[in-house]
Structure 1
Amino acid sequence: MDPECSQLLPALCSVLADPRQPVTDDTCLEKLLDWFKTITEAGSSLLLLQENPCLLGLLCHVLKPQDLSPRVLAFSLRLAGMLAAQEDCFQYLQQGELLPRLFGEAGPLGGAAWTAPSVRSGWIQGLRSLAHHPSALCFLADCGAVDTIFSLQGDSSLFVASAAGQLLVHVLGLSLQGPAEGHPGLQTGDWPVCAQKIVSHIEESLRSAATPQITQALNVLTTTFGHCHNPWTQVLWVRLSPLVARLLEKDPVPAAHSLVDLLLSVARSPVLSSSSCGLWETLAQTLSHLSPTQAGPLALGILKLQECPQALRAQAFAVLLQPLTCVLEATAQAPGLLDSWDGTGGASVTVDTLLASKAACVGLLCRTLAHLELLQPLPQRPSPWPQAPLLGATVTILRLCSGSATPTSDAGGHLCAFLVGCVRVQRAALDFLGMLSRGTGPRELVTQVFAVLLEYLTSPDSSPTVLKKAFQATLRWLQSSPETPGCSDLDPHAQLFLRELLPVLPKRLCSPCWEVRDSGLEFLTQMIGRWGGQAGFRRALLASEVPELTEQLLRDPESYVRASAVAAMGQLSSQGLRVTPASPEHPGGQQKSLLAELLHILSTDSEGFPRRAVMHVFTQWLRDGHADVAADTERFVARVLQVASQDLDWEVRAQGLELALVFLEQTLGRPSSHCPYAVTPPVAAPPGPLAQALRPLCRVQLFEFAFRALFDCDRPVAQKSCDLLLFLRAQTASYSGPQGSGSVPEVASVEAALQRWQAGDQGQPLGYLEPEVVVAVLRSMDLEGLRGALAESSDRVEKSPQSLLQDMLATVGALGEDEADCY
């Protein structure tokens, strides 16, 4: 510890020990603990105590009967545990019976401060730090701390209860690191006292009739088997698995969620999954005993396992498919379509759940669809994958929700009554339907998919969120649609669907709900980007009102919609799909300049989203050689950079640097690498041509824009500028222009201006710069050093320990004004 800190520490300990002093906030105490942790990890805790007896005095003082702040007491408990983590310091503290008085029954446990959750949490965290050596285990057993931890598992504070369970796992693992490590056959009766006590408590809890106690025991075991993969875990599971299996005999199964977590944790353990401990049989029994809602997560977890008996996988998949089987049978659509996977015999239970209530029906279907959606892309998904039945079931569910299905049974009628208009199920079904687009299906089913999607997109009853999901699913199915052989166009079925959809899109773009307008524009933008060059799509789009309506939405009152309209118009213009009909305002069909309109948005829009969208469009236009840009590229770049440099949104300024980099690459004819600031080998180039190539960059004042951005208050902007200038410097490494004395004053003037900019005075512009001056300035700057400084996290700029101590003392007036370092 620094001498300056050692001098300040006694005063701080006095302040903390004084109940009359206003206690500093928790953040400062956390930083203080972090500092002590750094010291103890780097050196001796015992030496720290011996050189700073005020710390020991603070720990002793907090035990005196007084009205001490709970946060100071919690801080002291954590500090004591941190110091006692080293065994020699633990023995030193034990000599004065300090640890039993802090963590035993004679300590805070019996005081009024124990009612504060922060004190109970500090007590647990202190023991968690302390328990790192054999002496600590004996201490825990002797002082009664383990029993207190048991009681804290049911604490009213969830944070305290969770921490208590984690501490039990830690103590159990520490107890068995030595004795049982290499002896998996060791009887649990021969285990250390702490381990025996914890295991006995778990057994007692599993036998309990109280669900909370069962839950606590299962949670401890779940964490244990999830984190400990030592041989002794096999002995523990062999001993406890009969008690776990006995839970299945109760109706209903208690703590089912925690039981599922435990069994999956055991199944993922490399020690237990490869042993013959009856695990797979227990999993099979659990699947058949849990309700359909409870069994779904277990079935999904089993199917995600890399190694699992095939019979168990089939049973798990059948559990997932059973609700959809019931839906198909209830609507008389190919009864038994999923029977090849149904080996559970639980159909009646599933039907009962689906028909029990609307909440039960909706919950089960949403979980089922979500689980199958997670399973579908996995390589270990069941094979063969029942693509066609799943498509049929999902389409049926969507029709039940829209009211277009015609149930032919009482069960189907109940399902229809429960599901009609249910947004939750509609969203889940549309998500899963989009995922199913990765596979193929019979033509008639694919036709049904497009029909139900069109139904949702045209229905006035579809909510904004459902419409968004329908747009997303539609795009995925169109993207998966097979192309016509020998042609890059969509297949006839998809083209027919588009012809039916495009007349609907204008209605969505005119919706009074801004979320609907926004979703429609996003869908349109993605469609143009994917099929804008295909003849069938172009004809259908140009025959619709969509381009004109999209342009009108550039002036929408909602900023999100304006941003989406900008993106869509950028795509329409790039593909030559922007058409404005003849009118008195536009005789002969003459269009207003979209470039001018987007520049107006960039200059005047009050929201950042549309301005960012404009910058993205402009950058893409420049990259693609858009006609409006190519007509006068320098003027375009100069105008955009001038506006972007004054924007208050850092993302707009950063995108301006991206546009500048594209222009720089095109001007020099040398594309940057994936890492723009990587130093590339110098390319030999005659001085004259390179100087000529740099002049357009000077004329558009790209360097002034980049130099200002280099000292931007927003780090991402400064980093991007640094990358750009490093790339440019690498490209000009071989340049050796005329070295006349006349250029020296100009270089010095620019360097002086940059120093003023770095200091915060950016009022005076640089003006036009000659290429020789730019190259000289770039070579004189320490861009690598600046890049390194920008790459460092802002977390490194933190208070020194001395400053932290001074500020904590200054807040209570324990320092003179000239000694404080508050900020």
Structure 2
Amino acid sequence: MDPECARLLPALCAVLADPRQPVADDTCLEKLLDWFKAVTEAGSSLLLLQENPCLVELLFHVLKPQDLSSRILSFALRLAGTFAAQENCFQYLQQGELLPGLFGEQGPLGAAAWAAPTVRSGWIQGLRSLAQHPSALLFLADSGAVDTIFSLQGDPSLFVASAAGQLLVHILDLATRGPAEGHGRPQAQDWPACAQRVACHLEDCLCSEAAPRVTQALHVLTTAFGHCHGLWTQGLWVQLSPLVARLLEKDPMPAPHALVELLLSVARSSVPSSNPGLWETAAQTLSRLSPMQAGPLAAGILKLQDCPQALRTQAFGVLLRPLACVLEATAQVPGTPGLLEGAAGDPMAVDTLPPSKSACVGLLCSTLAHLELLQPLPQRPSPWPQAPLLAAAVTILRFCNGSAAPSSEVGGRLCTMLVGCVRVQRAALDFLGVLSQGLGPRELVTQVFAVLLEYLMSPDSSPTVLKKAFQATLRWLLSSAVPPGCCDLEPRAQLVLRELLAVLQKRLCSPCWEVRDSGLEFLTQMTRRWGGQAGFRQALLASEVPKLASQLLQDPESYVRASAVAAAGQLSSWGLLAAPSSPEHPAGPQKTPLEELLLVLTTDTEGFPRRAAMRVFAEWLRDGHVAVAEDRERFVARVLQAASGDLDWEVRAQGLELALVFLQQLLGARSPGAAPPGALAQALRVLCRVQLFEFAFRSLFDCDRPVAQKSCDLLLFLRAKAAPSSSPQEAGDSPDVAPVEAALRRWRAGEQGQPLGELAPEAVLAVLRSMDLEALRDTLAKSSDHVERSPQSLLQDVLATVGVLGDNEADCY
């Protein structure tokens, strides 16, 4: 320990032990615990206590009846556990009867402070730290702590109950480590007494008629199989699996969700390879649970790499059953493959969907979500019923917008329950978008585009539904490229495109800003993908969409203006946003796209549009946009001048990114090593003219660390490209760097007013070579409070808050 910290420690302990002192907040106590943990991990806990007896005195002082705050008592319990994690220190504290006083029955368990969840949580966390060696197991068994942990599983505080269950798993794991590992699967009767007690407790809970006790046991076992992978977990499953299977016989089945989590946790462990009976239990569980309860188990089974085919078929049938019911409710035309055809064993007759609206909506949404996650996985069921799934998704969307034709009583109920249901619409549109990754019959794909257009045109579609409809439409358009990956759209998609642009034109005029925003995002994505395709260009230019997108640069909502900037950037990149002459205003020339976006950058009062403009400018510079190529130097100068004075740190950071792109283009980023002297000198003159160095040097001292980091990276890149002078003759006369260094000193001190003025390239290079940019980069990489987080500073600040230290000794963080 640092000598200065050791000097402050007695005063700290005195403050913590004094109930009259207003000790610093919980954050300070957490930092103190972190520090003590780091100290003990780096050395001997026993030596720490022997050299600093005030720490032991603090722990003994906590045992005395007094009015200590619950957080100080919790702190002391956790601190004692931290020290006792090392076995020799545990023995030292045990000899003084300190540990029984803190964690035994005569400790806080019987005091009024036990009523505070903070104390109970501190007690559990202290034991969790302490339980690291065999001596701790004996202590837990003899002190009665294990019984207390059992009772805390049902604690009214969820944090305490969860921590108690995790502690039981840790005790089991600790108790079963050792020589038994590697000598075959250890039997439960061979486990240490402490582990046997936990196992017997779990048995009692699983046999209980009280559902909460069953749930507690299942949660503990789920954690055990999820985090512990020793041979003992196999023995635990052998002992307890009959009791788990017996839960399936109860009516109603207790804790179905917890049971599903346990079975999946066991299935992902090493147990199935040694105990195939797990698959039979899983199959029985699938058949006993309701469709809503069985969905997560079925989806989890299908995500496993190794699983019996019969169980996979059963699980897939469980997931498909609700969608099969939807298709049956509309009497799908003959010839459409059934969703449940080919299932082995049980014919998997279609069950009636839940009668209540909330249950039916929940089942359909969860089913669609599970199938959406399965679709891209390599272990998804094969053959994948692409056509029936497409038909089901389209049918659900038609039920939701009222255009379905029900053919049964179930269909009539579905119409009533699903019409206008935004939650199901969103889930079905997400699923429909994922299905675009597969093929489908031509007539079904036609239906897909038709239902998507219905949703995009409907005045009843909510903004979130419209956004998802735009996203799904884009994915289906991308999948319609012929051949795959080509820029051209097939004829059917070309027809859809014309209807889409008509819809988009209307949506860009919507009174709802979220709709205008989604429309602009869709336009940007389409233009990025098909801006060079003749059919798209012709259809777009024949519409009012580009003009409307330009007008939205003046939208009252900043998010919309930002999206309009992105759309304008893409349209201009492809030459789709030219400024035509205006018959209404023949004398007033239209602003070019570059002028429009520069106006946004320099005048918009919100940060989002200005950030969007900077992203567009960087992309234009990188791609050689025609408006930039005309006078690249003037373009960069204007953008950097605007960005350098922006109050938004992200705009300044993006300005530095644009400066780096420009620098790489001037110096040839692809060529390794230093740039040729002639090219370097010419580039430096250009950089000085655009005032890049003024911006970069100022940014080194920016109050926002990301900006300073980007500036440091830019200058390091430049210095790497500048070969050091090998001789005085090559270097020439020493440049005058005094004005630059004086300005840097002023900026470092916070005086940002005076500019650098005209710079000589040689002076810039000399300053760059004299600066320790590597050290600055390392400093910037550290957290902003790395100095103030020192242990000495922490102790000083805690003491200063109670007046033990003078103000000049505190270093507040």
Aligned equivalents of 2:737, 2:756: Cα separation in 1: 11
Query: Does residue 717 in structure 1 map to residue 715 in structure 2?
Result: no
The equivalent of 1:492 in structure 2 is 491
Q: What is the TM-score of this pair, normalised by structure 1?
A: 0.95
The equivalent of 2:643 in structure 1 is 644
**Residue 746 of structure 1, CA deviation:** 2.4
The equivalent of 2:720 in structure 1 is 730
The equivalent of 1:28 in structure 2 is 28
Aligned residues: 811
The equivalent of 1:396 in structure 2 is 395
Residues 349 and 318 of structure 1, relative CA distance in 2, 3 Å threshold: closer
Structure 1 unaligned blocks of 5 or more: 674-679
The equivalent of 2:264 in structure 1 is 264
Residues 323 and 642 of structure 1, relative CA distance in 2, 3 Å threshold: same
The equivalent of 2:325 in structure 1 is 326
Aligned equivalents of 1:563, 1:494: Cα separation in 2: 29
Q: Which amino acid aligns with 1:146?
A: V
Residues 585 and 709 of structure 1, relative CA distance in 2, 3 Å threshold: farther
Equivalence map 1:648-659=2 (5 Å): 648-659=647-658
Name the SS for the 2:602 alignment partner: helix
Residues 125 and 459 of structure 1, relative CA distance in 2, 3 Å threshold: same
The equivalent of 1:340 in structure 2 is 341
Q: Which amino acid aligns with 2:15?
A: V
Residues 557 and 365 of structure 1, relative CA distance in 2, 3 Å threshold: same
Task: Work out whether residues 301 and 315 of structure 2, in 8 Å CA contact, stay in contact via their aligned partners in 1.
Answer: yes
Query: Does residue 114 in structure 1 map to residue 114 in structure 2?
Result: yes
Aligned equivalents of 1:729, 1:260: Cα separation in 2: 60
**Residue 703 of structure 1, CA deviation:** 1.4
**Residue 69 of structure 1, CA deviation:** 0.6
Q: Which amino acid aligns with 1:57?
A: E
The equivalent of 2:608 in structure 1 is 609
**Residue 51 of structure 1, CA deviation:** 1.4
Aligned equivalents of 2:481, 2:583: Cα separation in 1: 44
The equivalent of 1:531 in structure 2 is 530
Worse-matched range after superposition: 46-55 or 342-351 = 342-351
The equivalent of 2:411 in structure 1 is 412
Aligned equivalents of 1:212, 1:307: Cα separation in 2: 33
Deviations 1:428-452 (A, max 9, x none): 0000100011111111111111000
Q: Percent identity?
A: 77
The equivalent of 1:76 in structure 2 is 76
**Residue 510 of structure 1, CA deviation:** 0.7
Worse-matched range after superposition: 764-773 or 557-566 = 764-773
Worse-matched range after superposition: 191-200 or 692-701 = 692-701
- Name which of 752, 755, 759 aligns with 1:762: 752
Task: Work out whether residues 747 and 776 of structure 1, in 8 Å CA contact, stay in contact via their aligned partners in 2.
Answer: yes
Query: Does residue 230 in structure 1 map to residue 230 in structure 2?
Result: yes
**Residue 792 of structure 1, CA deviation:** 2.8
Worse-matched range after superposition: 584-593 or 648-657 = 584-593
Equivalence map 1:162-201=2 (5 Å): 162-178=162-178, 180-201=180-201
Q: Which amino acid aligns with 1:442?
A: P
Residues 417 and 115 of structure 1, relative CA distance in 2, 3 Å threshold: same
- Name which of 690, 696, 702 aligns with 2:680: 690
Q: Which amino acid aligns with 1:136?
A: A
Task: Work out whether residues 725 and 731 of structure 2, in 8 Å CA contact, stay in contact via their aligned partners in 1.
Answer: no
The equivalent of 1:298 in structure 2 is 297
Task: Work out whether residues 482 and 491 of structure 1, in 8 Å CA contact, stay in contact via their aligned partners in 2.
Answer: yes
- Name which of 780, 785, 790 aligns with 1:790: 780
Aligned equivalents of 1:375, 1:165: Cα separation in 2: 32
Worse-matched range after superposition: 50-59 or 197-206 = 50-59
**Residue 658 of structure 1, CA deviation:** 1.6
**Residue 340 of structure 1, CA deviation:** 2.0
Deviations 1:147-186 (A, max 9, x none): 1001111111111111000000000111111364345454
Residues 153 and 672 of structure 1, relative CA distance in 2, 3 Å threshold: farther
Name the SS for the 1:726 alignment partner: helix
Deviations 1:748-804 (A, max 9, x none): 221222222222222211122222222222222222222222223446334322222
**Residue 625 of structure 1, CA deviation:** 2.2
Residues 318 and 557 of structure 1, relative CA distance in 2, 3 Å threshold: same
Residues 695 and 817 of structure 1, relative CA distance in 2, 3 Å threshold: closer
**Residue 667 of structure 1, CA deviation:** 2.5
The equivalent of 1:671 in structure 2 is 669
Aligned equivalents of 1:137, 1:328: Cα separation in 2: 59
Equivalence map 1:138-537=2 (5 Å): 138-178=138-178, 180-270=180-270, 272-334=271-333, 337-343=338-344, 345=346, 350-351=351-352, 354-483=353-482, 488-537=487-536
**Residue 739 of structure 1, CA deviation:** 6.1
Aligned equivalents of 2:624, 2:535: Cα separation in 1: 25
Aligned equivalents of 1:778, 1:805: Cα separation in 2: 40
The equivalent of 1:676 in structure 2 is none
Worse-matched range after superposition: 333-342 or 43-52 = 333-342
Residues 655 and 295 of structure 1, relative CA distance in 2, 3 Å threshold: same
Aligned equivalents of 1:486, 1:62: Cα separation in 2: 71
- Name which of 731, 736, 742 aligns with 1:752: 742
Q: Which amino acid aligns with 2:474?
A: L
Deviations 1:632-683 (A, max 9, x none): 2222111111110000111111111121122222323x0258xxxxxx4234
Task: Work out whether residues 326 and 392 of structure 2, in 8 Å CA contact, stay in contact via their aligned partners in 1.
Answer: yes
Query: Does residue 551 in structure 1 map to residue 541 in structure 2?
Result: no
**Residue 546 of structure 1, CA deviation:** 0.5
**Residue 21 of structure 1, CA deviation:** 1.6
Deviations 1:295-319 (A, max 9, x none): 1101111111111111111111111
**Residue 189 of structure 1, CA deviation:** 2.7
Task: Work out whether residues 59 and 76 of structure 1, in 8 Å CA contact, stay in contact via their aligned partners in 2.
Answer: yes
Aligned equivalents of 1:743, 1:568: Cα separation in 2: 52
Q: Which amino acid aligns with 1:671?
A: A
Task: Work out whether residues 402 and 420 of structure 1, in 8 Å CA contact, stay in contact via their aligned partners in 2.
Answer: yes
Task: Work out whether residues 433 and 473 of structure 1, in 8 Å CA contact, stay in contact via their aligned partners in 2.
Answer: yes
The equivalent of 1:577 in structure 2 is 576
Worse-matched range after superposition: 367-376 or 585-594 = 585-594
Name the SS for the 1:62 alignment partner: helix
The equivalent of 1:43 in structure 2 is 43
The equivalent of 2:694 in structure 1 is 704
Worse-matched range after superposition: 798-807 or 491-500 = 798-807
**Residue 322 of structure 1, CA deviation:** 0.9
Aligned equivalents of 1:728, 1:454: Cα separation in 2: 52
Residues 214 and 344 of structure 1, relative CA distance in 2, 3 Å threshold: farther
Aligned equivalents of 1:581, 1:457: Cα separation in 2: 30
Residues 484 and 267 of structure 1, relative CA distance in 2, 3 Å threshold: closer
Worse-matched range after superposition: 204-213 or 745-754 = 745-754
Aligned equivalents of 2:72, 2:54: Cα separation in 1: 15
Deviations 1:133-155 (A, max 9, x none): 11111111111100100111111
Task: Work out whether residues 87 and 133 of structure 2, in 8 Å CA contact, stay in contact via their aligned partners in 1.
Answer: yes
Deviations 1:691-718 (A, max 9, x none): 2232222111111111112222222211
Residues 807 and 344 of structure 1, relative CA distance in 2, 3 Å threshold: farther
Task: Work out whether residues 396 and 405 of structure 1, in 8 Å CA contact, stay in contact via their aligned partners in 2.
Answer: yes
Worse-matched range after superposition: 778-787 or 410-419 = 778-787
**Residue 455 of structure 1, CA deviation:** 0.5
Worse-matched range after superposition: 523-532 or 792-801 = 792-801
Residues 740 and 770 of structure 1, relative CA distance in 2, 3 Å threshold: farther
Query: Does residue 774 in structure 1 map to residue 773 in structure 2?
Result: no
Worse-matched range after superposition: 596-605 or 531-540 = 596-605
Task: Work out whether residues 578 and 593 of structure 2, in 8 Å CA contact, stay in contact via their aligned partners in 1.
Answer: no
Residues 737 and 706 of structure 1, relative CA distance in 2, 3 Å threshold: farther
Q: Which amino acid aligns with 1:22?
A: P
Residues 574 and 555 of structure 1, relative CA distance in 2, 3 Å threshold: same
Deviations 1:715-765 (A, max 9, x none): 221121122112222222167799699964622221222222222222211
Task: Work out whether residues 681 and 761 of structure 2, in 8 Å CA contact, stay in contact via their aligned partners in 1.
Answer: yes
- Name which of 801, 807, 812 aligns with 2:797: 807
Aligned equivalents of 1:732, 1:746: Cα separation in 2: 18
Deviations 1:7-65 (A, max 9, x none): 22222212211112212211111111111111211222111111111111111111111
Pairwise CA RMSD? 2.1
